Amino acid sequence: MSADLHDLGFLEAADALARKQVSSEELTTALLDRSERLEPALNSLTWFSRDAALAGARAADAARAGGDARPLLGVPIAIKDLLNVKGQPCTAGSNILKGYTAPYDATVIARLRAAGCVFVSRTNTDEFAMGGSTETSAYGPTRNPWDTARVPGGSSGGSAAAVAARLAPAALASDTGGSIRQPAAFCGVTGFKPTYGRVSRYGCTAFASSLDQVGPIARSVEDAAAVYQVIAGLDPHDSTTSSRPVGDCLPEVRGAKDLKGLKLGLPKEYFVEGLDPEVEKLTRAAVEQCRALGAEIVDVELPHSKYGIACYYILAPAEASANLARYDGVRYGFRAESEDLLEMYEKTRAGGFGAEVKRRVILGTYVLSSGFHDAYYLRAQKVRTLIRGDFEKAFSRCDAILGPVTPTPAFRVGEKTADPVQMYLGDIFTVNVNLAGICGLSVPCGFSPDGLPAGLHVVGPAFREELALRIGAAYQHATEWHRKKPADPKGGRP
Amino acid sequence: MAMKFSENADRMDVRYVAGLARMALSDEEAARLQGQLDDILAFVGELKTLDVSGVEATDVATEARNAWREDEPAAGLGRDTALANAPLARHGQFVVPKVIE
Amino acid sequence: MSDYIPSIGLEVHVQLKTRTKMFCACPAHEEGEPNTTVCPVCIGLPGALPVMNREAIRKTVKVGLMIGSRISLRSMFDRKNYFYPDMPKNYQITQQAAPLCIGGAVEIEAGGQRKTIRVNHIHQEEDAAKITHMETTSEIDFNRASTPLMELVTEPDMSSPDEAIAFLTALKEMLIYAGISDCNLELGHMRCDVNSSVRPSGTDKLGVKCEIKNMNTFKGIHRALEYELERQAETLRKGGTLVQETRRWDDEAGITLPMRSKEYAHDYRYFPEPDLPPVVLDAATVEAWRAELPELPAVRRARFVKDYGLPEYDAGVLTADKAISEYFEAAAKKSKNFKAVSNWVMGELLRALGEKGQGIADAKISPEALAALVALVDARTINMPAAKDVFQVLFENGGDPAAIVKEKGLAQVSDAGAIDGFAEQAIAANEKVAAEYRGGKEAALMFLVGQVMKLSRGKANPQLAADALRRKLGK
């Protein structure tokens, strides 16, 4: 094998391991070495342990030597610091969970473990996944590998940056309002948010339970599909998972060469004031590429799109205000020493949570509180119905929807931290997919003149993951954007 | 994406709401949050311009129904593991400062 | 307090008899070491999710069916938000907007009056952990956390403490009958929030409501209500005003006291629990559950009166406990003398069980054996004192009464010759008494019968002995 083991994609690594061209220990060591070297510049990881990762890798190598031929045996993957891995820290990027060791595996982790994957590192996230820049993490901001003065997006900015910077061939992430797709777009990698209920949330530290969904970030649609395939499906521990069978989408994804026979919708609401002209240009070029691949492009309407952010910033904080109530210093995590219980609660939560979390918990508490519930929460639930209806109508006219993932390329670190509303507006193209509970894919579709990546958004109907992935795969078959890699950032260790 | 502020946003009492959420706020923090939350509420208040009469609320995001389990016991964490992350434990119990009603 | 009319409503929390907890597979009702039956779900770890226990839902629906509720074909869970260290998530999963059972009623009898108490709804929820307050700290045991609870909320239809207790007694009886709960009050299986108000007689509008929280003995509830209703009426009589408040019962002092108001007003911020899909029941499932319902105590009581000709009193005693009523019925089916069977069950059997602190399930005497014992008495094979001896043997060791009678030689002596002999001996030994009888003192005969019984070592048929004595004494 070449010296650049870290360049191997997820399935390439699986293939190299199967052919015994490389051992999991060599591969994992290469990624750990590279992580040690680049992390001072990127800050994409919250935790990694050479001992823990190599123990997993060696066990995989031993199993393979014993004849174990599981296709993903020994393949390394990074895990967002929101997902519980038994025996490892899991802090959700928050001081309130510093020191917490997860006593159980999330279902997605158990499934990857059963497939033989090696957990190489834990990736940075906005605190409790609340943010679009990974700046709200208690570990400090992650840097975009394409320009370390810029954010990698968020909340799964650590996963996207680590995959882009070749610290891992793939990573697990989560998406509540765009937290997989937006950082994937900002970092020039592929991110996939499956349909709500397709992937178990058990063991994924909750932000907004009716919107959260776990998915992969990888360097190609095929790699993302391979991870998705392992983690998807009914889970008796998550009552919201669907009992629909998960078909094997990999043959379809691998065979995707064109888009003939598909009708792809282009919502006029996605090309409006506020969309960066460069991003618009790249998105339109990508749409033309899809047309060239044989797709019929049709206009569709999503008339309630513009209400998505307001709706989301009521419902998500409301659910979060309850989900985060458990961080009280009683059973685990940070506790502020106090004489009485009430003071302990108030000081623990004041000291343990960062500013964005406090903002959202207060907002969510308010919109549910007596006297305001109907005006905010109930009304937002109704608007959610309208937004879902928009997509149902649109999908009666087309197979999938195309559009931009983000209104702008990656912005500068610190640029939006003082103005939450401006930060929230960055979710304009992604939140509606969560509100509608459908699936969305972000694939790299070119670079701005500043050299910053942009993403094409492929939105599929509920439980049509294979369709969204197939469209993305055909696009990647015809383009090279997803193969571009950033130069190693300055500021790393020599 | 021009931002509009509605004229008559409901003004939230940040300290009261933070109390409901059991979070102490410094004066400086309360002042900053008050301003930011006023902005956010003005922004999300845009929904009030939408006619939602006759629209049903989406109160369920999943297509699953029932999803219950049979009444069969399974092993849990065990006491030592359950208490391992506790800030304070004694006699196999989680310990908190005295509750003052 | 005829100048004021009380209205009482109850919120009854009942722990359901399930093997596992409401939202996780940890064993429920374990009285073991603290924090031994816990898992990520019931201590509220990050990422843990609830999964409904079907059996708990089934049991709650069955209660609704027993009291004639409308069963919701689509019900939902909600989150009720409040901070307290016994709540692992700092919200309770409960049902607010769409509970499982709506409406219904329970018939009660208090002070000789029958009355219908309407039920507003029954919902499903989870119990809190056990918290023990020490001097400077509190300790928490999560074994109880997420134990399945149903909460039954009545309309304010009860108008005296007696009616409230009658309601709770009827409900408890029903729940035990149907295997819904053991309703062991000492173990906290049944806990009650008691709402009460008074209004001037002649008016309709309900007065200001006071809630007494977390009562767990019937006696306590009765006393608390007696106190509270009088307190409210007396306040009004003196021209005072009542405020809607939550109070607690101080059992030692025998008074209710306002609970110190919490630092923050309660604002539960209910919203639909996103982690749980709706419970959707179809008519076939509900009907299948209905078919599993046992005959209810009130129905069984009426049937015992009708089918076995028992007095109301007997039927009431026998049906107060489902197992006892079933025992009686099994014995009665083998017997021709239902009243005698009833007497044995209510008398000797319940006494013997009580002495040993046992339940009917522990009794060694089978219903068939009891029926056979009754038959032996009726056939005058043995007399009553002998029958009681046989019963004692049966109770302790079981077996066949006829065999015991034979083995112990307890059969009555009905042989005329033998009895005549005993009668002559008795007269000879008690000439004075015999003379009194001859002189017209009828009661003296009973003494002589007793002497015959003594001489026969209890085996003489007392009726035959009396006949023989009368003959010998020339009457």
Instruction: Tell me the pLDDT tens digit for each residue of C71-130.
Output: 999 999 999 999 999 999 999 999 999 999 999 999 998 988 999 999 999 999 999 999
Listed residues C251, C270, C289: the one ending a domain: C289
**For testing the chain B interface, which of A86, A362, A406, A424 should be mutated: the one with the most B CBs within 10 Å?**
A362
Is A240's CB within 8 Å of C275's CB? yes
* CA A315 – CA A207 distance, rounded (Å): 11
Q: Which of residues 359-378 of C touch B (CB under 8 A)?
A: none
Q: According to DSSP H, which parts of C15-160 are helical?
A: 54-66
Q: Is CATH 3.90.1300.10 what the domain over A5-303+389-483 is classified as, yes or no?
A: yes
Residues C140 and C282 in one domain: yes
Output B5 or C84, whichever has higher pLDDT: C84
Is B56's CB within 8 Å of A239's CB? no
In this predicted structure, what is the pLDDT of residue C475?
58
In this predicted structure, what is the pLDDT of residue B8?
40
The alpha-carbon gap from B33 to the nearest alpha carbon of chain A, in Å, equals: 7
* CA A186 – CA A452 distance, rounded (Å): 7
Q: Show the domain range for C459.
A: 416-472
| Domains in chain B: boundaries | 1-50
Q: pTM (2 decimals)?
A: 0.90
Output A179 or A270, whichever has higher pLDDT: A179
Over residues A41-69, mean pLDDT = 98
Chain B residues whose beta carbon lies within 8 Å of the beta carbon of residue C86: none
Listed residues C408, C442, C464: the one ending a domain: C408
In this predicted structure, what is the pLDDT of residue A45?
98
What's the number of domains chain C is made of? 3
Is A239's CB within 8 Å of C263's CB? no
ipTM of the complex: 0.97
Task: Report, as residue numbers or ranges, the catalytic residues of A.
Answer: 80, 155, 179
Whether residue A155 has a cis bond before it, omega within 30° of 0: yes
Of A439, A436, A431, A435, the closest CA to residue A463 belongs to A439
Task: Please list the ranges in chain C whose pLDDT falls under 50.
Answer: 263-264
Over residues B67-93, mean pLDDT = 96
**For testing the chain C interface, which of A97, A210, A326 should be mutated: the one with the most C CBs within 10 Å?**
A326
In which band, very low, low, confident or very high, does the pLDDT at B7 lie, cut at 50, 70 and 90? very low
In this predicted structure, what is the pLDDT of residue C457?
79
Between C52, C138, C279, which is nearest B98 by CB? Answer: C138
Chain B residues whose beta carbon lies within 8 Å of the beta carbon of residue C76: 59-60
Residue C440, C-beta contacts closer than 8 angstroms, at least 6 positions apart: none
Chain A residues whose beta carbon lies within 8 Å of the beta carbon of residue C269: 321-322, 365, 368-370, 373
Q: Is B26 helix (H, G, I), strand (E, B) or coil?
A: coil
* CA C433 – CA C292 distance, rounded (Å): 66
Chain C residues whose beta carbon lies within 8 Å of the beta carbon of residue A83: 47
Residues C31 and C144 in one domain: yes
Chain A residues whose beta carbon lies within 8 Å of the beta carbon of residue B6: none
In this complex, is the C-beta atom of C142 within 8 Å of any C-beta atom belonging to chain B?
A: yes
C453 φ, ψ (degrees, to nearest 5): -60, -40
Secondary structure (H, E, C), chain A: CCCCHHHCCHHHHHHHHHCCCCCHHHHHHHHHHHHHHHHHHHCCEEECCHHHHHHHHHHHHHHHHCCCCCCCCCCEEEEECCECCCCCECCCCCHHHCCCECCCCCHHHHHHHHHCCEEEEEECCCHHHCCCCCCCCCCCCCCECCECCECCCCCCHHHHHHHHCCCCCEEEEEECCCCCHHHHHHHCCEEEECCCCCECCCCECCCCCCCCEEEEEECCHHHHHHHHHHHECCECCECCCCCCCCCCCHHHHHCCCCCCCCEEEEEHHHCCCCCCHHHHHHHHHHHHHHHHCCCEEEEECCCCHHHHHHHHHHHHHHHHHHHHHHCCCCCCCCCCCCCEHHHHHHHHHHHHCCHHHHHHHHHHHHHHCCCCCHHHHHHHHHHHHHHHHHHHHHHCCCCEEEEECCCCCCCECCCCCCCHHHHHHCCCCCHHHHHHCCEEEEEEEEECCCCCEEEEEEEECCCCHHHHHHHHHHHHHHCCHHHCCCCCCCCCCC
In this predicted structure, what is the pLDDT of residue C359?
87
CATH number at residue C431: 1.10.10.410
The alpha-carbon gap from C224 to the nearest alpha carbon of chain B, in Å, equals: 22
Residues C345 and C422 in one domain: no
Residues C234 and C327 in one domain: no
| Domains in chain A: boundaries | 5-303+389-483
**Residue pLDDT, tens place only, A417-475:** 988 888 999 999 999 999 999 999 999 999 999 999 999 999 999 999 999 999 999 99
Q: Is CATH 1.10.20 what the domain over B1-50 is classified as, yes or no?
A: yes
- Residue C23, both tokens: 């939202």
- Residue B66, both tokens: 């029932």
Listed residues C408, C427, C460: the one ending a domain: C408
**For testing the chain C interface, which of B58, B66, B81 should be mutated: the one with the most C CBs within 10 Å?**
B66
In this predicted structure, what is the pLDDT of residue C260?
66
Residues C35 and C166 in one domain: yes
What's the mean pLDDT when you consider all of chain B?
88
- Residue A429, both tokens: 């193209």
Element (H, E) at B20: helix B14-20
Residues C180 and C308 in one domain: no
